[in-house]
């Protein structure tokens, strides 16, 4: 439905009308349509619901909603049945007729779709699922309540009410409100949002200025910004309009990764809807304020998450940062004052305006207010997006919500803050997560990626992985980052190859110091963090590589050998079939079947000269008969 | 070379210089890489020096100046996929197709690439073939994928 809203009253009337149209008794099936669930094939589940609803003529009796990400990516495809609150997971298209007949229109619960935890504990209702129970989904929760492409849903949910309130306020009062809320930038630095707004508002009086949304979410393992932009693009747009009004900008950009096609699509739809409704464009809601947003897609460069590089790229140039003795808040895009905030930061703004600074500031810790969305990924049972109040401990996030480590393995480390962050060991698990606490221990919040690592992870390899990443992503403008990080990688490559020397660790530390000091932008300025934090907390692993020529995580190829375990090998030959280099052959010795030597089947053996350590045999072996040492 | 598509892409972006990256993305989607003639056309239409376009096209990892295969196999090398063994799968694909990451097979069927993170960490390790996500990959599933792609007539 398109309706041009000419003033505030029209928006309120529309909201009331939309809310009245939404019958609270009509059941709603909300299927997660986030990118993660699409990977599981949720489109087939959605199609099955559409077909079944059409075939049984249930259009008036049930609403099907295709929403953005629900967060519990581990268990996709997911659906929530409201108002009952039933949570179904790992849904197959064939389950759909049953779901409708039994659980939507009947009172039966389908046991195989119910969440079952690692200890066999079951939870029928979403609120009881441990993954959701400790969360406080102020920002992310709305994803489930709206169709990702429906502005009506967003408005009915109270959307654009923050904007309404803002238009009744003085722009400076809006900035004060955001300041009192204590909102800090969710993209990494944790800079106070209101202070940035204030600077942009005051800079270059009378000149054109911009607001920009940073959706170039480059941290590997972090995808909360994508999920917000995909699932609730209007919350980001509303935040940007409020910000633009507060600082006096008439133009806005969303700079989004091209690797996120669904986010690009949904943001485009949302902008068009807002334009058609008169929420973007000239004289928004009769306030006399003009503002519009266009989308720019990135080109796949990590450094473009950095403010000056992002703005250079927006100007159609290569994404090279510049020195920041003059901030982009004063001279940014096209040398005009520019306010760059991250997706999640913008999505927090409407909430602050709608609910008030005081209610926002009640949540969180002294220096970090509100909630934060984390992506809990890696060696973890419940991979997903988690929104919690600032100040929860890592242990609560990883074990209570994340469900701990799979396959009975031991926790080794958690990596926070992306390539600029650090790896924290088990003894840090009781750390209360907020901007300041993470910085104190040598890591950082970053955009909120938490990558969990178990005992099979090699920490030197992890440091090497990030250093390789940063070598490739360094733009090459300044020498400390371009040459320094590359040299660090050479040393780490050597250590992982078994050619590490005494003094390598000290050399890495010394180089880190120079790179931290001398780099032009934050990419180089934080690049040594993964190396420094792994040296600090996992020095023993470096020593094992260098002195003992041993990889404790059994990852570094030159330091491990594959062998067949006599007594476990049943002679089945599964490994022979998968070995790409024909390194496995039979011996004369009998294989062991059910604990006894077998008359015909023979024990296998691996020719270590031929073996390329690809691990295919270990993966194929059902009897744990491949030993890695 | 027919450049009408390039004209249309630029027009869709109102010939705005600040849409250069988006325009190059769309040009690349059409030609599967960035040939010289369309880049010259973009330079004329947007009034941007060709040298600047060349610098942008070579700076960003999304762009390729050489023809890519019918299928682009993208291995996610994000941290979550890395700790779940993405490197091993990449090596398997390199062996299987006989090309390194960033290269295209001689029959132009497959280009093997890596991506920093596609944000489907629950499905890691992930391999994306054109727009299809293959999740929870292991050596066996990767071997099957290689066979399928080698036999595919697109």
Residue A213 CA to residue A90 CA, distance in Å, equals 34
Give Cβ neighbours of residue A217 (< 8 Å, ≥ 6 apart). Answer: A223, A224, A225, A226, A257, A260, A305, A343, A447, B119
Q: What is the pLDDT of residues A502-518, one digit of tens each?
A: 999 999 999 999 999 99
pLDDT score of A343 more than 50: yes
Judged by phi (left if over 0) then psi (alpha if -120 to 50, else beta), residue B34 lies in: beta
Which chain A residues in 313-352 lie under 8 Å from chain B, judged by CB atoms?
A: 313-319
Nearest in space to B69 (alpha carbons), one of B43, B93, B38, B50 = B93
Q: CA B77 to CA B85: how far, in whole Å?
A: 9
CA distance A489 to A473: 13
A74 touches chain B (CB under 8 A): yes
Q: What pLDDT sits at residue B131?
A: 84
Using CB atoms, pick whichever of A217, A221, A614 lies closest to residue B121: A221
pLDDT tens profile A569-617 = 999 999 999 999 999 999 999 999 998 999 999 999 999 999 999 999 9
> Is A183 in contact with A162 (CB distance < 8 Å)?
no
Angle formed at CA B24 by CA B19 and CA B25, multiple of 5 degrees: 100
pLDDT at B51 over 80: yes
What is the rounded distance in angstroms from the CA atom of residue A340 to the CA atom of residue A591?
A: 65
CB proximity under 8 Å: A 256-295 to B = 258-261, 294-295
pLDDT score recorded for residue B93: 96
The ipTM estimated for the assembled molecules is 0.91
Nearest to B80 among A258, A451, A473 (CB): A451
Task: Give A502→chain B minimum CA distance, Å.
Answer: 27
Residue of chain B with shortest Cα separation from A222: B119
**Percent helix, strand, coil in chain B (nearest 5)?**
50, 10, 35
Contact (CB<8Å) A614/B82: no
* Beta strand residue intervals within A68-201, DSSP E: 79-82, 86-88, 115-116, 122-123
Residue B118 has pLDDT above 90, yes or no: no
As a whole number of angstroms, the distance between CA A508 and CA A516 comes to: 12
- Count helices and strands (H / E) in chain B: 7, 4
Q: What is the dihedral of CA B103, B108, B114, B119, to 10 degrees?
A: 170
Per the DSSP assignment, residues forming a β-bridge with A411 are A454
pLDDT at A1 over 50: no
Residues 89-108 of B with CB under 8 A from A: 91-92, 95
Give the CB-side neighbour count of residue A242, counting CA atoms within 13 A: 35
- In chain A, residues with a C-beta closer than 8 Å to the C-beta of B88 are 614-615
Q: What's chain A's average pLDDT?
A: 94
Residues of A in contact with B78 (CB under 8 A): 220-221
Chain A CA closest to residue B96: A580
E strand or H helix at A574, and its extent?
helix A574-578
Q: What is the pLDDT of residues B32-43, one digit of tens each?
A: 999 999 999 999
pLDDT per residue as tens digits for the range A236-284: 999 999 999 999 999 999 999 988 989 999 999 999 999 999 999 999 9
Question: Sign of dihedral through CA atoms A517, A523, A527, A530?
Answer: positive
- Cβ pair A589, A556 in contact under 8 A: no
Contacts of B130 in chain A (CB under 8 A): none
CB B70 within 8 A of CB B51: no
Residue A22 confidence class, pLDDT cut points 50, 70, 90: confident
Q: What is the pLDDT of residue A2?
A: 55
Mean pLDDT of A323-349: 94
Residue B142 Cα distances to A285, A626, B40, B89, B139, angstroms: 54, 20, 40, 7, 5
Of A349, A381, A558, A391, which Cα lies nearest the Cα of A464?
A558
- Verify whether the Cβ–Cβ distance A300 to B140 is below 8 Å: no
Q: Mean pLDDT throughout A473-497? A: 96
Choosing among B51, B86, B121, which should be mutated to test the A contact, i.e. which has the most A CBs within 10 A?
B121
Of A302, A316, A449, the CB nearest to B116: A302
Task: Give pLDDT, residue B153.
Answer: 45
- Separation of alpha carbons B128 and A289, rounded Å: 44
The position carrying tokens 């495809």 is: A77
The residue written with tokens 């940063």 in the block is A470
Over the stretch A109-153, which tens digit does the pLDDT of each residue have? 999 999 999 888 999 999 999 999 999 999 999 999 999 999 999
Mean pLDDT value across residues B108-123: 90
Q: How far is CA A71 from CA A416, B122, B131, in A?
A: 19, 10, 22
| pLDDT tens sequence across A370-419 | 999 999 999 999 999 999 999 999 999 999 999 999 999 999 999 999 88
Residues from chain B that touch A614, judged by Cβ atoms under 8 A, are 88, 91-92, 139
Residue A487 has pLDDT above 50, yes or no: yes
pLDDT at B152: 57
Those of residues 465-494 in A touching chain B at CB distance below 8 A are 465-466, 469, 473, 475
Give the closest-approach CA distance of A615 to chain B in angstroms. Answer: 8
What is the average per-residue pLDDT within A413-441?
93
The answer to whether residue A324 scores a pLDDT higher than 90 is no
Q: Does B63 touch chain A (CB under 8 A)?
A: yes
Chain B closest CA to A287's CA: distance in Å?
A: 28
Distance to chain A for B126, nearest Cα, Å: 9
Which chain A residues touch B89 with a CB distance below 8 Å? none
3-state class (DSSP) for residue B67? coil
User: Are the C-beta atoms of residues A571 and A601 closer than 8 Å to each other?
Assistant: yes
Is the pLDDT reported for residue A337 higher than 90? yes
Distance of alpha carbon B63 from alpha carbon B57, whole angstroms: 6
Q: How much is the average pLDDT of B94-122? A: 92
| CB nearest to B52's CB, from A313, A317, A418 | A317
Please report, rounded to a whole number, the percentage of residues in chain A having pLDDT higher than 70.
Answer: 100
Residues of A in contact with B79 (CB under 8 A): 220-221, 377-378, 415, 418, 449, 451, 465-466
pLDDT digits (tens, 9 = 90+) for A529-543: 999 999 999 999 999
What does the pLDDT average to over A304-314?
93
**CB distance A299–B62 less than 8 Å?**
yes
CB pairs under 8 A between A and B: 163
Interface test with A, best of B94, B119, B143 (most A CBs within 10 A): B119
- B132-134 and B127-129 as β-strands: parallel, antiparallel, unpaired? antiparallel
- Give A-chain residues touching B94 at CB under 8 angstroms: none
Closest CA to B24 of A213, A317, A333: A317
Tell me whether residue A526 is exposed, middle or buried, using C-beta atoms within 10 angstroms of its C-beta: 0 to 12, 13 to 18, 19 or more: buried
């Amino acid at each position: 439905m398109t309706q041009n809203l000419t003033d505030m009253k029209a928006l309120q009337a529309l909201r009331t009308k939309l809310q009245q149209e939404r019958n609270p008794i009509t059941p709603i099936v909300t299927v997660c349509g986030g990118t993660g669930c699409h990977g599981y094939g949720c489109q087939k589940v959605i199609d099955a619901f559409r077909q079944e609803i059409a075939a049984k003529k249930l259009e008036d009796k049930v609403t099907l909603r295709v929403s953005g990400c629900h967060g519990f990516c581990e268990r996709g495809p997911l659906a929530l049945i409201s108002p009952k609150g039933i949570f179904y997971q790992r849904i197959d298209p064939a389950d759909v007729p049953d779901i409708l007949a039994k659980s939507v229109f009947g009172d039966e619960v389908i046991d195989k779709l119910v969440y079952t935890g690692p200890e066999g504990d079951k939870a029928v209702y979403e609120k009881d699922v441990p993954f959701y129970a400790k969360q406080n989904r102020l920002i992310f929760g709305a994803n489930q309540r709206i169709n990702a492409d429906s502005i009506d849903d967003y408005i009915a949910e109270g959307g654009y009410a923050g904007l309404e309130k803002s238009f009744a306020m003085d722009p400076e009062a809006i900035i004060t409100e955001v300041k009192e809320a204590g909102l800090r930038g969710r993209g990494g630095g944790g800079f106070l949002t209101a202070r940035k707004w204030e600077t942009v508002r005051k800079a270059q009086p009378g000149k054109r200025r911009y607001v920009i949304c940073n959706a170039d979410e480059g941290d590997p393992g972090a995808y909360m910004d994508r999920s917000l932009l995909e699932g609730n693009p209007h919350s980001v747009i509303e935040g940007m309009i409020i910000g633009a009004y507060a600082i006096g900008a008439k133009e806005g950009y969303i700079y989004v990764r091209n690797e996120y096609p669904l986010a690009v699509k949904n943001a485009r739809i949302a902008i068009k809807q807002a334009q058609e409704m008169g929420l973007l464009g000239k004289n928004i809601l009769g306030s006399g304020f003009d503002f519009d947003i266009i989308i720019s897609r990135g080109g796949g460069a990590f450094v473009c998450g950095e403010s000056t590089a992002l703005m250079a790229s927006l100007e159609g140039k290569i994404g090279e940062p510049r020195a920041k003795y003059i901030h982009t808040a004063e001279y940014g895009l096209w040398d005009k004052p520019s306010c760059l905030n991250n997706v999640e930061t913008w999505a927090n703004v409407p909430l602050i305006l709608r609910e008030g600074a005081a209610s926002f500031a009640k949540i969180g810790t002294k220096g970090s207010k509100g909630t934060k969305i984390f992506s809990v990924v890696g060696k973890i049972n419940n991979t997903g997006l988690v929104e919690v109040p600032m100040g929860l401990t890592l242990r609560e996030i990883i074990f209570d919500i994340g469900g701990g480590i799979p396959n009975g393995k031991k926790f080794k480390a958690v990596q926070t803050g992306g390539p600029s962050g650090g790896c924290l060991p088990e003894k840090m698990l009781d750390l209360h997560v907020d901007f300041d606490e993470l910085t104190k221990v040598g890591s950082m919040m970053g955009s909120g990626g938490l990558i969990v690592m178990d005992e099979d992870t090699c920490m030197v390899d992890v440091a090497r992985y990030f250093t390789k990443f940063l070598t490739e992503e360094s733009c090459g403008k300044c020498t400390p980052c371009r040459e320094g990080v590359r040299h660090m990688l050479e040393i780490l490559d050597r250590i992982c190859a078994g050619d590490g020397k005494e003094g390598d660790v000290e050399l890495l530390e010394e180089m880190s110091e120079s790179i931290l000091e001398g780099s032009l932008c934050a990419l180089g300025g934080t690049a040594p963090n993964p190396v420094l934090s792994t040296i600090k907390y996992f020095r023993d692993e470096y020593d094992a590589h260098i002195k003992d020529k041993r990889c404790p995580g059994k990852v570094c190829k030159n330091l491990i050998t594959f062998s067949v375990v006599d007594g476990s090998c049943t002679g089945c030959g599964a490994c022979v079939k998968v070995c790409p280099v024909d390194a496995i052959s039979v011996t004369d010795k009998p294989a062991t079947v059910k604990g006894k030597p077998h008359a015909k089947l023979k024990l296998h053996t691996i020719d270590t000269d031929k073996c390329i350590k690809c691990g295919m045999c270990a993966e194929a072996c059902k009897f744990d008969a491949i030993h890695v040492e | 070379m027919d450049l009408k598509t390039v004209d249309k892409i630029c027009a869709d972006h109102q010939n705005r210089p600040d849409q250069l990256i988006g325009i190059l993305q769309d040009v690349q989607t059409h030609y599967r890489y960035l040939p010289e003639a369309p880049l010259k056309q973009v330079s004329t239409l947007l009034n941007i020096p060709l040298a600047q376009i060349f610098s942008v096209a070579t700076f960003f990892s999304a762009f390729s100046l050489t023809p890519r295969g019918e299928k682009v196999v993208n291995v996610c090398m994000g941290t979550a996929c890395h700790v779940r063994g993405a490197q091993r799968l990449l090596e398997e694909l390199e062996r299987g197709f006989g090309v390194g990451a960033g290269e295209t097979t001689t029959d132009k069927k497959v280009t093997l690439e890596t991506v920093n993170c596609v944000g489907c960490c629950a499905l890691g390790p992930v391999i994306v073939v054109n727009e299809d996500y293959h999740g929870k990959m292991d050596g066996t599933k990767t071997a099957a994928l290689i066979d399928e792609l080698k036999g595919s007539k697109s």
